[in-house]
């Protein structure tokens, strides 16, 4: 019970951190979307794709190795800190000097040059606090992340909106992101006790790298694969098209970041702490898939159903071309609970070699599907659909090794996943039908329509879950009640 309570407490704080951060970010994004143009968001998405890819070298692999390692001391943490900072400096230099070439490649967008050079500073800021985040995750101190994120996102959001009001255009987005990274770094420095010492061990680095390099390669494949869509749309079509795709991906990703990423952050250290007990590992993995599916899937189905009125209300009619992207991305992200759980379990037992092999397999057929989609459709919609096609197959690939490792194969995982999936499909269809009915009623305000749709979807989903005695529904309600009673 103590272990279970620790997991739930950490999960709640991580969830509060994500929902608070993304809630404020959501408001900021709405304000900026109304003040700026789709082209502004498209250009910043191009730059962010390069920085995200470079950031993989800084924050992937070694940090995960710190969390996974059974015993990690200050020598390990300091070694990773200096390694990450050195890598960040090197990569920033590459971005700085290649900025003109990148701008030329993307249709001579010369305004990208200073944006790349300024926003690239985020690599250095991320390196400064990446080890502290690993320290927090390893020690399950997620409460600190809540205060850090809230303390950074609110001032940076106000700063970005202010710049947009005064017609700074794309620099409003740059200023908001850069200020947020600065504040995160400052707050982490004063709230987390860990400090780097002037110590470094090549022996420790080699041991951590022997585990982490496979995760690094996996993260590069994964990040490059998902960002290649941004780059292809930016190269083949207009900046506005990329802006619509970027905003369409933003809404479902917001939910995934809030919930699924919270689960993943807590799941890896939790699984790592019991990595030698395969029975408990399987039990926790099953619980993760059941619970996260029960929570995430209705949100994805509901968001896909209300995408049109939601976009009209919060972004305006100029953003309606983003609606199909929202719906496609909702389907793609629906399978993330299976991905997250299987990959976290593989990492927890130290099998980063399997993790890398899985990524190579998935990205190989993923690129083949992407090339086929470009050839067949030659449109941004076709590029987005390629991810939706490969998402279900990725679930099977990720689950395959755990049949042997945990005796928890794809068939058993689908039995845990499908009840919530099917119920969510029915709920989404029900809500979509109501959307059509309300659309004919021209006198009902959009805000009131969304209240009706959200309420109807929630009653439909949880009502049927209660009626059919869903195990996940009973578990969630009983666990939360018991947890708060103990508090």
Integer angstrom CA distances of residue 433 from 10, 248, 438, 459? 39, 22, 9, 15
Domain span including residue 330: 239-487
181 occurs within a structural domain: no
210 occurs within a structural domain: no
pTM of the model as a whole:
0.73
Q: Which of 138, 128, 132 is nearest to 191 (CA)?
A: 132
194 occurs within a structural domain: no
383 occurs within a structural domain: yes
Query: CB–CB of 329/453 below 8 Å?
Result: no
Give me the number of domains the chain comprises: 1
Residue 286, Cβ density class (10 Å: 0-12 exposed, 13-18 middle, ≥19 buried):
middle
Q: What 3-state class would DSSP assign to 107?
A: coil
Contacts of 309 (CB under 8 A, 6+ apart): 435, 438, 439, 446, 449, 450, 453
Tokens of 310: 């939601």
Query: CB–CB of 322/245 below 8 Å?
Result: yes
Q: What angle do CA 316, 244, 313 make, to 5 degrees?
A: 20
Cα–Cα distance measured from residue 435 to residue 32, given in angstroms and rounded to the nearest whole number:
27
388 occurs within a structural domain: yes
Q: How many CB atoms lie within 10 A of CB 426?
A: 13
Supply the DSSP string of 149-169, one letter for each residue.
HHHHHHHHHHHHHHHHHTT-T
Query: What sign does the dihedral 447-453-457-458 (CA atoms) show?
Result: positive
Cα–Cα distance measured from residue 264 to residue 288, given in angstroms and rounded to the nearest whole number:
9
Angle between helices 112-119 and 38-59 (to 10 degrees): 40
Cα–Cα distance measured from residue 448 to residue 444, given in angstroms and rounded to the nearest whole number:
7
389 occurs within a structural domain: yes
Tokens of 399: 């689950």
Cα–Cα distance measured from residue 409 to residue 264, given in angstroms and rounded to the nearest whole number:
20
DSSP-derived secondary structure letter, 318: G
466 occurs within a structural domain: yes
Integer angstrom CA distances of residue 462 from 338, 345, 472? 22, 29, 11
Cα–Cα distance measured from residue 239 to residue 237, given in angstroms and rounded to the nearest whole number:
7
416 occurs within a structural domain: yes
* pLDDT digits (tens), the chain, 487 positions: 455 555 556 556 666 666 666 666 667 777 777 777 788 888 888 788 878 877 777 766 677 777 666 677 788 888 888 888 888 899 899 889 988 888 887 765 777 889 889 988 888 888 888 777 777 777 666 666 667 777 788 888 888 888 888 888 888 888 888 998 888 888 888 887 778 888 888 888 887 777 667 767 777 777 777 788 888 888 888 888 888 998 888 888 877 776 666 666 555 555 555 566 677 778 778 888 888 888 889 999 999 999 999 998 888 888 999 999 999 999 999 888 888 788 777 777 777 678 778 888 888 888 899 899 888 888 899 999 998 888 888 888 888 888 888 888 888 999 989 999 999 999 999 999 999 888 877 778 888 989 999 999 999 999 999 998 888 888 778 766 765 665 5
């Amino acid at each position: 019970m103590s272990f279970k309570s620790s997991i739930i407490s950490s999960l709640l704080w991580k969830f509060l951190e994500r929902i608070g951060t993304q809630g404020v970010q959501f408001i900021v994004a709405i304000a900026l979307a109304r003040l700026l143009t789709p082209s502004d968001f498209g250009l910043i998405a191009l730059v962010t794709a390069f920085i995200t890819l470079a950031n993989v070298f800084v924050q992937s692999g070694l940090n995960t190795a710190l969390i996974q390692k059974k015993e990690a001391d200050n020598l390990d943490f300091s070694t990773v800190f200096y390694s990450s900072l050195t890598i960040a400096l090197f990569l920033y230099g590459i971005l700085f000097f290649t900025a003109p070439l990148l701008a030329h490649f993307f249709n001579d967008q010369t305004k990208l040059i200073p944006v790349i050079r300024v926003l690239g500073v985020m690599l250095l800021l991320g390196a400064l606090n990446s080890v502290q985040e690993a320290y927090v995750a390893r020690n399950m101190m997620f409460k600190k992340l809540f205060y850090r994120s809230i303390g950074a996102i609110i001032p940076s959001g106000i700063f970005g909106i202010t710049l947009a009001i005064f017609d700074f255009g794309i620099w409003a987005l740059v200023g908001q992101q850069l200020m947020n990274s600065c504040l995160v770094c400052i707050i982490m420095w004063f709230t987390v006790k860990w400090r780097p010492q002037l110590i470094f061990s090549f022996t420790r680095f080699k041991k951590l790298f022997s585990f982490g390099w496979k995760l690094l390669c996996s993260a590069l494949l994964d990040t490059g694969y998902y960002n290649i869509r941004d780059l292809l749309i930016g190269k083949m079509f207009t900046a506005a098209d990329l802006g619509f795709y970027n905003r369409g991906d933003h809404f479902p990703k917001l939910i995934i970041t809030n919930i699924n990423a919270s689960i993943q952050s807590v799941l890896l250290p939790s699984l790592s702490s019991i990595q030698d007990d395969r029975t408990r590992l399987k039990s926790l993995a099953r619980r993760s898939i059941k619970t996260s599916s029960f929570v995430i899937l209705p949100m994805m189905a509901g968001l896909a159903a209300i995408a049109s009125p939601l976009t009209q209300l919060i972004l305006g009619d100029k953003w309606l071309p983003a609606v199909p992207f929202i719906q496609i991305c909702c389907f793609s992200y629906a399978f993330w609970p299976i991905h997250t759980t299987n990959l976290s379990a593989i990492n927890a037992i130290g099998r980063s070699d399997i993790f890398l092999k899985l990524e190579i397999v998935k990205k190989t057929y993923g690129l083949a599907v992407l090339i086929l989609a470009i050839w067949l459709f030659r449109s941004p919609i076709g590029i987005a659909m390629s991810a939706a096609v490969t998402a279900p197959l990725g679930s099977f690939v990720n689950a395959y090794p755990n049949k042997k490792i945990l005796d928890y194969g794809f068939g058993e995982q689908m039995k845990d996943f499908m009840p919530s999936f099917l119920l969510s499909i029915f709920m989404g269809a029900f809500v979509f039908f109501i959307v059509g009915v309300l659309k004919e009623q021209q006198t009902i305000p959009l805000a009131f329509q969304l209240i009706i749709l959200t309420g109807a979807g929630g009653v439909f989903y949880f009502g049927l879950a209660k009626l059919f005695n869903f195990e996940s529904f009973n578990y969630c309600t009983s666990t939360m009640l018991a947890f708060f009673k103990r508090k």
